[in-house]
Structure 1
């Protein structure tokens, strides 16, 4: 998955017509964790819990604290803090819907890594309903709807989700948000391709590349990259080199853009995580409960776009399971730098969590992490590179 971290990816300071009585979307610089002590961040949350904060102050304090806990691998504490804040702000959500919506985004992100897919869906749905009630034509509401569709797709409803993305594209066009409409079309193209409707997928990508919408250069490149990636899944790796060779100087100046990566490893299959037995140290004895494991992988992107020095920087007690991930990252290709000495944004840190879906095992009444094992990924770099993939790109 390509969830973005807790501060959210859609804090767009754009039109908020009809919300004169409500604060606008949160600004990116309102949620910053730089050298802050965890105890101080926790104290800010406790002050808000005692009733000394506005809704927006409560959200900012909670998300900053939850992000710090998340970065330290304390997923349970981050999840609990976000859940309590959702409860505290529920009765006042209508007074600052944009802020509370970002609280739901943070909760969904942590829930995916924690393993609770039902909680992630519930949080994403709550965000979508809140924004649709207050600002249905806003970029925030449209992007929330896109995240909800992507979440539902992961839980299994491809045909329905394809039609949902088509409707979302039409809705964004009517709201005069053509760039969001193009993003929805990118996601739909990926889903169409994965559903073996390849002709329709490529036709849609061609239409995006031919668009004359202003400020669409990044998304037009995204369509070109996605078309190339889809071709590469059929073994046409020459398309990767051909695309890199024809990148313009302006496209290279967009920053390190992910052009190609091998299929993301899974916890199963040849060369990946060995089968996990009940007596494995990865499983708590007697209960079959699967605990969380995480790593932060750092890597440099050279001026030629190739990855250098991919390595595990830190992680939980066991990290051997991340070896296939390090190998896959090392094979990525990013856009080359426009200038050989331009290294801005070319050191990245990504968090990977080895988690498992929640479920209720036979003979038990307690939902727990015991189902399908999977990797969750999120970019922890302060300024992530442009990820020009659609929400659900076939591997």
Structure 2
């Protein structure tokens, strides 16, 4: 079912040989540009028109009424409520531990630099609602923003046909987290709404300072267009899992985990990296059995047989580590002997799941970690969503008369070297020169 890539004996750069989903955000950017510009110019009217055109939904009101949010929470199934509350509690514990402390560095007598960490004032959080709906993504976006101290939070998620509202479990998750500003808007128009706001309809939507959250290619393209107008977390692509495994791995676990990510989307990537041909044979047999029994069989099959998914054969775990570092997976599982030692050698992954009892699906819901992670190899240079995403470092520089005098000649020397004499003059004038 999975394509095979044999890298045994290869000395080539693995990045050129590893599978990736075919996703051209630049083309999508030009396609969504008219929608984004229309929202910028016409506000709520353009948002309604785009929602009717793309989602087939006539919106009565862009902002979800408080009564609808409360009703969703009241009607939540007890098991789902308990699971969401546990997910929130674990995520809050982890993300509160990520807060940063103010630090003051003393540089001689009377000179200090203080590093402060201030929350973004207002954020817009996007929660997908296409092939699947994700109340868990409400948790993963809202909790770190709250832990950072963000004062104003707006959530937006696509409206469902029939109700004109986001999925009821998404609304319920917002209620459990105390978020009451929720919009029934999805796609590129939602990103434009958050970035530019609107005032031609009450209640109005104020523009945000940062937008986070995963979405489809249209959402990603709109975030690219808005970058600079607002901050964004990342340009998220289709979800992906890589599993580095040796012959000690249980093929049932490996197959189930590959399928679990393929379930998201036909473009989802499932990659197994292993030196064991015996494991490969056993996993292929398990895939045939488990795919036949899974609910979203066609979606899973499309993902597993796509160009973005593969079994990658390597000489040994050393080469396997080089391959997974080159791939930079959103989710990386280590199913080997002594998995913690192997995991600590990985340098590029959004999140690393260590050992047989730490599947990616645990991280999707209740591990306490965040599931909004870099994709498409971006884990080689970017981090997943965290409390720090919503914090800005601001430095306070405070020097006394004597502290400035101590370095005045150095400032003047460097300003002269850069042919910026007015810089030096701004120091000399303080000492009557």
Larger % of strand: which?
2
The higher-RCO structure (CA 8 Å, 6+ apart) is 2
TM-score, length-normalised on structure 2?
Answer: 0.23
Which has the higher Rg, Structure 1 or Structure 2? Answer: 2
TM-score, length-normalised on structure 1?
Answer: 0.25
